[in-house]
């Protein structure tokens, strides 16, 4: 994973692989290419493996976003994975905002000079590119986590996903199915809340975890929203620098006296300042907001795990009660016993695995946040240090 | 002293009314003399005295060229009447005639024509251009005047309350009674000053700086604000903006060589008592309504009358000013945008800080929690920095542009005055032609009784034609001069503003660096 270099967001990827336990090269997955067509983005998933189960050593397939989601759903549904934290699915590639801005820019073309227009277009294109890179990174991270997980990597669906050359013909859910999913998730949430209040957990560890995660999740969400707002404001400031610099440039060309050189230089400075501000804002976005966002999603996945476990516990207790009842009535004892036994096993397995996963999650989270904070700090310093010299140079005028 | 007070009245070009021509002449010569002496006593630089002699020579020549044969004998008269300066001055009411002593050079020996205004045309010879530059430097050599507006204070309560400001002046210009003075003025006083100056100078083609705008909402808020204790702490932002704008306004008047020595201006700065309420400036007063009508009428004439422009310089300048104005407007819009976005950034940063603080509370890992808490603090500090920066954006750049936009408005008004002068001139010419025709007609029909008065009328109109033509020339020249001053000032102002803005930026960046550097070890320390 670290070796993939056609990918631009190496940092995020390597962060992932650093903090995941297994790190061998028997199965390497990356997204080597991505094409954006209108509404869809087509990812080229490239696999390199030394495992015998695969037909070839090195192969690529083309996948779309829906197919990633399909894969995630398969994992989520699988009962045997109930004890694990399923990596959160990547977000839909969202170019809407960029597209909107481009449209607005096109409409407003008449009101600004050719230069200004060109610059703003450049800005937009850079933004679009950045969003694109980000979405590719997200998808890749998802796949890598799956590939690195000892259990998940052996899943047949995963294998199919990687190998099957044809289109998986996973159609996006149509309206009815979407409604179904919505209702299901709704019932799930109510169930969760109900369980959360009625079911008392046997194990203190899990109890604490649960309350912690619930809180943490909402805090993370809040922080993410705010971080996003800040990044956007930063971008706006940078955009305005463009306008000012072009105004000044115009004034300079119209002015025939000493103000001309001065104004040109000032316009230049604003230009540079803008670029830097922009870079600052994208960096912030990357380091801070994205980290927060990712962990928010991860926390959701952890919460899901806990929920499943709780559900399992409820089932277990239900089975226990059924057994007692059966024993009391002295019929179907064997069936009840068996189901109780099943439930018990499942529950214990889940608890054990779950505990592991949650501890692991914590470690991962701390390390990742720390790394990102440090990098953010460094970048901010770098940028601030660069801006100072050229504002200084103007004083010589 | 009568002397000191009257000394600088070299040029009575701005006397419109009841001075007799002869009185003017005498006064002028007398003035010339006194000014010579007083100039020296006031320590004017030798340059000015020289130029003053120069123009004296010029003026005399001009006199001979002028249409008025009066010119020549008058110069002789000048010499004779030297002995009688004081008394004549006593009669002349003060506000009428001050002219900048620094313009001593150009205006000493005025040509003696009936209309005082035409005298100023002699003032603006090519030679005087150089004098003007010298004047500005002379200022920085020895003469200076610094003004500041401070301490807004609310007087009274409720609807009848108002704000006063302390106007503090430091100067070593001799005209002023003292070198340092502080007076208390309210906003309507400033408007009154503007009205007086505009009345005197606008139609001469001088650029009278525009005062800050009225602001009904802000003013009412201040009036309605609670008792003393409340306003002590925080007067609304609008008051601070107004204070800064008033200061800039006074400074702009002070650097203008003519206005600097204007008696109204001096009175404004010096007079310790309250000035008479300039109730004419209120929008609802009789004068206000009249003003409104006048303005409407002017707008109509502006649209209706197209002046055949004889001077390409004006054409070009007009174009240039139009482009400048549109550029300024765009710049202002962008600056406003920048300002509001930076404010948003500051808010968002603060909000993030709070969010991070909450997160750190919820975080169970001790090291991470501490790091997050520190980050929250950091963002709070960053918010402060951003706020400061946005203040710089606003006060330095935005207000500057706004001021210049209003100044451009004044320039347009002044151009319009010139158009009006042209109109008067044309009108006079037309009337003259008509009267001449009348004379011819009467002569042809042999009505000798009508011929005589008609001829008188012709003479009268000839005089008017000449007068209005001179006025027109005067105003044209004045405008040219003013615009040069304006340009120089503009360049200076802009440079200064941008440099100080960028310095503020630099400081902000430094602070940001500082903050992040303090944070860095925290981030690294997460266990």
Could you tell me if A161 and A222 lie in one domain?
Answer: no
CB contact under 8 A, B348 and A374: no
Instruction: Report if residue A47 sits inside a domain.
Output: yes
| Angle of helix B237-255 versus helix B216-224 axis, rounded to 10 | 120
Tokens of A217: 């999740």
**pLDDT-derived band at B331, boundaries 50, 70, 90:** confident
Instruction: Report if residue A255 sits inside a domain.
Output: yes
Which chain B residue has the Cα nearest residue A227? B352
The lowest-confidence range among A39-48, B50-59, B231-240 is: B50-59
What ranges make up the beta strands (E) of B82-144? none
Sign of CA dihedral A105, A108, A110, A113: negative
Could you tell me if A147 and A195 lie in one domain?
Answer: no
- Chain B, 354 to 373: residues with Cβ < 8 Å from chain A are 354-356, 358-359, 362-365, 367-368, 371
CB contact under 8 A, B348 and A233: yes
pLDDT at residue B28 greater than cutoff 80: no
CA dihedral B302, B308, B314, B319 (to 10 degrees): 60
CB contact under 8 A, A377 and B519: yes
Could you tell me if A276 and A152 lie in one domain?
Answer: no
Average pLDDT, chain B: 69
**Is the confidence metric ipTM above 0.90 for this complex?**
no
Which chain B residue has the Cα nearest residue A245? B331
What is the C-alpha to C-alpha distance for residues A395 and A368, in angstroms, rounded to an integer?
42
User: Please, are residues B85 and B31 in contact by the beta-carbon 8 Å criterion?
Assistant: yes
Could you tell me if A188 and A160 lie in one domain?
Answer: no
Q: What is the domain-level CATH number for residue A220?
A: 1.20.1270.60
Which pLDDT does position B352 carry in this prediction? 83
- Chain B, 335 to 354: residues with Cβ < 8 Å from chain A are 335, 337-338, 341-342, 344-345, 347-349, 351-352, 354
Could you tell me which of B385, B396, B308 has the C-alpha nearest to residue B343? B385
Could you tell me if A162 and A81 lie in one domain?
Answer: yes
Instruction: Report if residue A127 sits inside a domain.
Output: no
Q: What is the domain-level CATH number for residue A80?
A: 3.30.1520.10
Contacts of residue A241, Cβ cutoff 8 Å, sequence gap at least 6: A270, A271, A273, A274, A277, B338
CA distances from A179 to A66, A75, A94, A174 (A): 17, 21, 22, 9
Higher-confidence residue of A286 and B493: namely: B493
Could you tell me if A252 and A338 lie in one domain?
Answer: yes
Tokens of A260: 């001309």
Quote the domain boundaries for residue A47: 25-91+134-167
CB-CB neighbors (< 8 A) of A221 in chain B: none
Contacts of residue A368, Cβ cutoff 8 Å, sequence gap at least 6: A15, A19, A291, A294, A295
Could you tell me if A205 and A149 lie in one domain?
Answer: no
pLDDT tens per residue across span B124-162: 333 333 333 333 333 444 667 888 888 888 887 777 778
Instruction: Report if residue A371 sits inside a domain.
Output: yes
Which pLDDT does position A76 carry in this prediction? 80
What is the C-alpha to C-alpha distance for residues B255 and B105, in angstroms, rounded to an integer?
18
Could you tell me if A162 and A218 lie in one domain?
Answer: no
Instruction: Report if residue A265 sits inside a domain.
Output: yes
Q: If you average pLDDT over residues B262-270, what whole number do you get?
A: 83
Which pLDDT does position B492 carry in this prediction? 81
Instruction: Report if residue A193 sits inside a domain.
Output: yes
Q: If you average pLDDT over residues B438-444, what whole number do you get?
A: 84
Could you tell me if A198 and A52 lie in one domain?
Answer: no
CB-CB neighbors (< 8 A) of B519 in chain A: 377
Could you tell me if A153 and A224 lie in one domain?
Answer: no
Q: If you average pLDDT over residues B106-111, what whole number do you get?
A: 34
Q: If you average pLDDT over residues B365-392, what whole number do you get?
A: 79
What is the C-alpha to C-alpha distance for residues B354 and B203, in angstroms, rounded to an integer?
60
pLDDT at residue B12 greater than cutoff 70: no
Question: Which residue in A229, A258, A374 is closest to B348 by CB distance?
Answer: A229
Which chain A residue has the Cα nearest residue B346? A230
A83: exposed, middle or buried (Cβ count in 10 Å: 0-12, 13-18, 19+): buried
- Highest-scoring range by mean pLDDT, A37-41, A315-319, B200-204, B242-246: B242-246
Q: H/E/C letters for each residue in B255-275?
A: HCHHHHCCHHHHHHHHCCCCC
Instruction: Report if residue A225 sits inside a domain.
Output: yes
Which pLDDT does position B56 carry in this prediction? 37
Q: Domain tally for chain A?
A: 2
CB contact under 8 A, A377 and B523: yes
Q: What is the pTM of this model?
A: 0.66
Could you tell me if A230 and A144 lie in one domain?
Answer: no
- Estimate the share of chain B in helix, then strand, then coil, as percent rounded to the nearest 5: 75, 5, 20
Question: CA of B371, closest CA in chain A: separation in Å?
Answer: 8
CA distances from A212 to B66, B390, B479 (A): 98, 40, 76
Tell me which H or E stretch contains A63: strand A58-64
The lowest-confidence range among A128-137, B38-47, B209-218, B266-275 is: B38-47
Could you tell me if A202 and A294 lie in one domain?
Answer: yes
Chains A & B: contacts with CB separation below 8 Å? 151
CB contact under 8 A, B512 and A380: yes
CB contact under 8 A, B371 and A370: yes
One-character DSSP codes across B403-466: HHHHHHHHHHHHHHHHHHHHHHHHHHHHHHHHHHHHHHHHHHHT-HHHHHHHHHHHHHHHHHHH
pLDDT tens per residue across span B275-314: 777 666 666 667 777 777 877 877 777 766 666 667 778 8
Ramachandran angles phi, psi of A91, nearest 5°: -75, 155
What is the C-alpha to C-alpha distance for residues B458 and B215, in angstroms, rounded to an integer?
52
Which chain B residue has the Cα nearest residue A240? B338
Which residues lie across from B186 on neighbouring strands? Answer: B164
Instruction: Report if residue A122 sits inside a domain.
Output: no
What is the C-alpha to C-alpha distance for residues B338 and A251, in angstroms, rounded to an integer?
18
Mutate to test the interface with A, among B345, B390, B518, B526 (most CBs of A within 10 A): B345
Tokens of B254: 């002070």
Mutate to test the interface with A, among B332, B359, B396, B503 (most CBs of A within 10 A): B359
Long-range contacts of A74-81 (CB under 8 A, 24+ apart): A74/A155, A74/A157, A75/A146, A75/A152, A75/A155, A75/A157, A76/A304, A78/A155, A81/A151, A81/A152
**pLDDT-derived band at B496, boundaries 50, 70, 90:** confident
Question: Which residue in B324, B523, B526 is closest to A366 by CB distance?
Answer: B526
Mutate to test the interface with B, among A244, A360, A364, A385 (most CBs of B within 10 A): A244
Which pLDDT does position B161 carry in this prediction? 78
Which pLDDT does position A397 carry in this prediction? 52
pLDDT in tens, chain A (397 residues): 433 333 333 334 433 444 443 445 678 888 888 887 777 788 888 888 887 777 788 888 888 888 888 888 888 888 777 777 788 888 887 777 777 878 887 887 777 677 777 877 877 787 788 778 888 888 888 888 888 788 887 888 888 888 877 776 666 566 777 788 788 778 777 777 776 666 666 667 777 777 788 788 888 888 888 888 887 887 777 777 777 777 777 777 766 666 666 777 777 777 677 676 666 666 666 677 777 778 888 877 877 777 777 777 777 777 788 888 888 887 777 877 888 888 888 888 777 877 888 788 878 877 777 777 777 777 777 777 766 665 566 555 5
């Amino acid at each position: 994973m670290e070796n993939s270099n056609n990918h631009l967001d190496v940092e995020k990827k390597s962060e992932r692989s650093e903090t995941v336990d297994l790190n061998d090269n028997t199965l390497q997955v990356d997204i080597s290419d991505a094409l954006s067509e209108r509404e869809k983005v087509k990812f080229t998933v490239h696999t390199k493996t030394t495992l015998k189960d695969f037909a070839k050593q090195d192969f690529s397939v083309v996948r779309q976003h829906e197919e990633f989601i399909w894969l995630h759903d398969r994992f989520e549904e699988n009962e045997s994975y109930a004890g694990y934290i399923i990596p959160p699915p990547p977000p839909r590639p969202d170019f809407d905002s960029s597209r909107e801005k481009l449209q607005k820019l096109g409409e407003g073309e008449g009101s600004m000079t050719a230069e200004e227009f060109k610059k703003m277009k450049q800005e937009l294109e850079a933004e679009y590119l950045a969003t694109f890179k980000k979405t590719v990174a997200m998808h890749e991270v998802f796949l890598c986590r799956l590939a690195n997980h000892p259990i998940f990597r052996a899943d047949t669906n995963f294998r199919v996903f990687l190998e099957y050359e044809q289109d998986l013909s996973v159609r996006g859910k149509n309206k009815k199915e979407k409604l179904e999913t919505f209702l299901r998730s709704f019932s799930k949430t109510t169930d969760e809340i109900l369980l959360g209040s009625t079911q008392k957990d046997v194990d203190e560890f899990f109890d604490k975890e649960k309350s912690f995660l619930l809180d943490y999740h909402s805090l993370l969400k809040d922080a993410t929203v705010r971080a996003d707002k800040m990044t956007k404001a930063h971008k706006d400031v940078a955009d305005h620098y463009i306008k000012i610099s072009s105004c000044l440039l115009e004034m300079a060309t119209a002015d025939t006296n000493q103000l001309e050189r001065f104004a040109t230089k000032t316009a230049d400075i604003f230009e540079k300042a803008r670029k830097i501000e922009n870079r600052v804002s994208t960096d912030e976005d990357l380091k801070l907001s994205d980290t927060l966002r990712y962990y928010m999603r991860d926390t959701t996945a952890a919460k899901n795990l806990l929920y499943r476990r709780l559900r399992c516990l409820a089932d277990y207790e239900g089975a226990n009660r059924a057994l007692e009842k059966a024993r009391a009535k002295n019929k179907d004892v064997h069936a009840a016993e068996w189901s109780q036994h099943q439930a018990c096993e499942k529950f214990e397995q889940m608890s054990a695995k779950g505990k592991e996963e949650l501890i692991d999650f914590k470690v991962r989270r701390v390390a990742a946040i720390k790394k990102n904070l440090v990098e953010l700090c460094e970048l901010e310093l770098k940028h601030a240090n660069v801006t100072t010299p050229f504002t200084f140079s103007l004083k010589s005028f | 002293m009568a002397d000191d007070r009257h000394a600088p009245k070299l040029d009575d070009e701005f006397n419109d009314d009841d001075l007799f021509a002869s009185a003017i002449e005498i006064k002028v010569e007398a003035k010339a003399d006194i000014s010579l002496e007083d100039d020296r006593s006031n320590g004017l630089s030798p340059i000015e005295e020289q130029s003053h002699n120069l123009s004296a020579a010029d003026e005399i020549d001009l006199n001979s060229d002028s249409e008025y044969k009066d010119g020549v004998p008058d110069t002789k008269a000048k010499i004779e009447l030297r002995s009688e300066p004081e008394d004549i001055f006593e009669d002349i009411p003060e506000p009428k005639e001050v002219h900048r002593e620094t313009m001593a050079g150009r205006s000493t020996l005025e040509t003696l024509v009936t209309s005082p205004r035409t005298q100023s045309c002699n003032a603006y010879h090519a030679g005087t251009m150089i004098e003007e530059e010298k004047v500005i430097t002379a200022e920085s050599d020895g003469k200076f005047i610094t003004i500041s507006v401070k301490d807004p204070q609310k007087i009274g309560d409720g609807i009848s309350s108002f704000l006063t400001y302390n106007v503090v002046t430091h100067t070593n210009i001799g005209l002023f009674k003292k070198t340092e003075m502080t007076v208390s003025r309210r906003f309507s006083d400033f408007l009154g000053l503007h009205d007086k100056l505009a009345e005197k100078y606008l139609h001469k083609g001088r650029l009278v700086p525009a005062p800050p705008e009225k602001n009904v909402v802000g003013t009412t808020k201040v009036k309605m604000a609670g008792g003393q204790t409340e306003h002590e702490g925080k007067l609304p932002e609008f008051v601070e903006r107004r204070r800064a704008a008033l200061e800039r306004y006074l400074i702009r008047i002070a650097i203008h060589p003519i206005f600097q020595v204007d008696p109204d201006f001096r009175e404004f700065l010096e007079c310790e008592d309250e000035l008479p309420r300039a109730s004419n400036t209120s929008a609802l007063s009789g004068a206000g309504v009249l003003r409104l009508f006048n303005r409407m009428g002017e707008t109509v004439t502006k649209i209706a009358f197209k002046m055949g422009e004889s001077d390409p310089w004006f054409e070009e300048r007009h174009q240039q000013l139009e482009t400048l104005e549109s550029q300024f407007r765009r710049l202002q819009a962008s600056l406003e945008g920048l300002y509001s976005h930076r404010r948003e950034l500051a808010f968002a940063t603060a909000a993030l800080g709070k969010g991070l603080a909450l997160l750190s509370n919820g975080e169970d890992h001790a090291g991470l929690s501490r790091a997050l808490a520190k980050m929250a603090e950091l963002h709070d500090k960053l918010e402060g920095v951003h706020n400061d920066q946005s203040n710089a954006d606003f006060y330095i750049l935005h207000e500057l542009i706004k001021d210049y936009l209003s100044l451009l408005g004044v320039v347009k008004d002044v151009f319009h005055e010139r158009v009006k002068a042209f109109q008067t001139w044309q009108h006079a010419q037309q009337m003259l032609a008509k009267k001449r025709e009348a004379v011819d007609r009467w002569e042809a029909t042999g009505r000798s009784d009508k011929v005589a008065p008609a001829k008188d009328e012709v003479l009268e109109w000839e005089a008017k034609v000449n007068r209005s033509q001179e006025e027109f020339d005067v105003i044209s020249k004045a405008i040219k001069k003013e615009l040069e001053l304006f340009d120089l000032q503009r360049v200076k102002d802009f440079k200064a503003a941008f440099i100080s803005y960028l310095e503020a930026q630099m400081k902000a960046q430094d602070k940001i660096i500082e903050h992040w550097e303090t944070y860095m070890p925290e981030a690294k320390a997460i266990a």
